[in-house]
Amino acid sequence: MAKTKIAYFCQSCGYESPKWLGKCPACQQWNTMVEEVLEKPAASVPTWKASPASSVRANKPVQVADITFKEEHRLLTPDKEFNRVLGGGIVAGSLVLIGGEPGIGKSTLMLQLALNMPGIKVLYVSGEESDHQIKMRAERLTQSTPPPPPEGGAFDKRSGNSTPPSGGRGAGDSSCYILTETSTQNIFKQIEELEPDLLVIDSIQTLHSAHVESTPGSVSQVRECTAELLRFAKETSTPVFLIGHITKDGMIAGPKILEHMVDTVLQFEGDRHHVYRILRTIKNRFGSSSELGIYEMLGEGLREVSNPSEILLSQRDEPLSGITISATLEGMRPMLIETQALVSPSPYGTPQRTSTGFDTKRMSMLLAVLEKRCGFRLGAKDVFLNITGGIRVEDPAIDLGLAAAIISSHEDIPIPAKTCFAGEIGLSGEIRAVNRVEQRIAEAQKLGFEQIFISKYNMPSGAKDKNRLDLSRYTIDVKAVGRIEEVFGLLFG
């Protein structure tokens, strides 16, 4: 009998050591090494029916010029928000990881996707719920209004083409199969018999492989199960979706190598006490990594929000101080969001600086610029910032809107409701140019805004300057400013 092999893994980063260590050499964390029993038999590769192309493929070095490139065929789902965050659809053979807090709606999102894929054979593997529980959720999800059919159909893994989808929808006529199993060996046996076009694993922390003698959810089990699914996805060109747990810090549970192994990492965010959910792209090898999709959680499932600017802007009957509208970009999508600020005298010795949805350090920088360059005494004031809608914004173009909201609350003077802002503030008080300002202006004009403040460096400087802004096609009043003092002079006189 072979001798049992024991190794120590870091629960934080997955570092492997033959002996116990008090401090991990990789991530410098203390008391994170856990003992695990390993067993690596000779035939550790799971058996499945691979495609003919993978069986005859030769692993030889090839020059870049000799590589033949074929246009990738993406599987378009009925959910346009889901297609956007994936970069235009599901790529054949891709491995996608979806993380989020408990109860946020990860299983609902993937089950709703599996039920709304007509003509595509989907295998939904659940290690957390029974088939009766999934059936109850499926009946609730199929009571909603059916979405439009997808533009693309199922993959033909051998030819690389797409077949047109067939009609029909619902728990009874959809090609969705449910499997309640946690062993990867049994899962691959069912995959070999069923040959699905799409595989969903709920969740990766519940799977266990017989090749590793440790509990499910451990570092070695998560890494081994993900490696087996990655090998299956690449050799059979079958898209695989993994649902992952997160830690109390909001990071995806398991070793960090899990995020490196997959092709795409999606984060499902939102407050369980609010109806809106955000699907954000963290990593994407097939598209932009800064896209997001917005959903509304209803009793019948998740409904995609096609125009997020309408839900991020509150309807006010009277003007209020400390509220501005900023034009921001999330990936390729322009959005107008409402920014709120509250400035009040500090009743304590140390003033408070609190921000929700915005970087606190950048807020401190804006307050320093307002006090140094504009003369506003904010050192003894409490300042609170809030980005409405529950989203987090990292676009620097929101600086101008936040600064205007802070001064509006400080002076208790409302800003006109039909005014929006798009500009970055520098340390010397200048308004810096932002990228893709044309899309921001067009979005503000579409929503009925009358004027927008932008940087004068986005304006044309001469007849030969073809890379600057052309204002002839806009009806909105564009205010070009160069310094922050000009903005406050135009707003507050």
Q: Which residues are annotated as a binding site for ATP?
A: 100-107
CA 261 – CA 277 distance, rounded (Å) = 26
Please list, in sequence order, all residues whose beta carbon lies within 8 angstroms of the beta carbon of residue 240, skipping any fewer than 6 positions away.
94, 95, 96, 199, 200, 201, 229, 230, 232, 233
Q: Which residues pair with 122 in a beta bridge?
A: 176, 198
Whether 300 contacts 143, CB under 8 Å: yes
Whether 265 contacts 99, CB under 8 Å: yes
The position carrying tokens 């460096």 is 457
Q: β-pairing, 419-421 with 323-330?
A: parallel
**Structure letter (DSSP) for residue 402:** H
Measured in whole angstroms, the distance separating CA 311 from the mean position of its chain's CA atoms is 19
Q: DSSP assignment of 389-428, as one string?
A: GG-----GGGHHHHHHHHHHHHHT-PPPTTEEE--EEPTT
First and final CA of the chain: distance in angstroms?
87
CA angle 161, 163, 167 (to 5 degrees): 160
At position 361, the amino acid (one-letter code) is K
Please list, in sequence order, all residues whose beta carbon lies within 8 angstroms of the beta carbon of residue 52, skipping any fewer than 6 positions away.
158
CA 107 – CA 191 distance, rounded (Å) = 20
Q: Residues marked as binding?
A: 100-107
Residue 117 CA: distances (Å) to CA of 157, 190, 198: 17, 20, 10
Nearest to 321 by CA among 424, 418, 404, 425: 404
**Structure letter (DSSP) for residue 83:** H
CA gyration radius, the chain: 27
Q: DSSP assignment of 22-71, as one string?
A: SB-TTT--BS-EEEEEE---S--SPP----HHHHS-------GGG----P
The token pair that represents 163 in the structure block: 């077949």
CA angle 274, 278, 281 (to 5 degrees): 160
Please list, in sequence order, all residues whose beta carbon lies within 8 angstroms of the beta carbon of residue 415, skipping any fewer than 6 positions away.
319, 321, 323, 324, 404, 405, 408, 491
Task: Find the Cα–Cα–Cα–Cα dihedral 416, 420, 424, 429, rounded to 10°.
Answer: -20
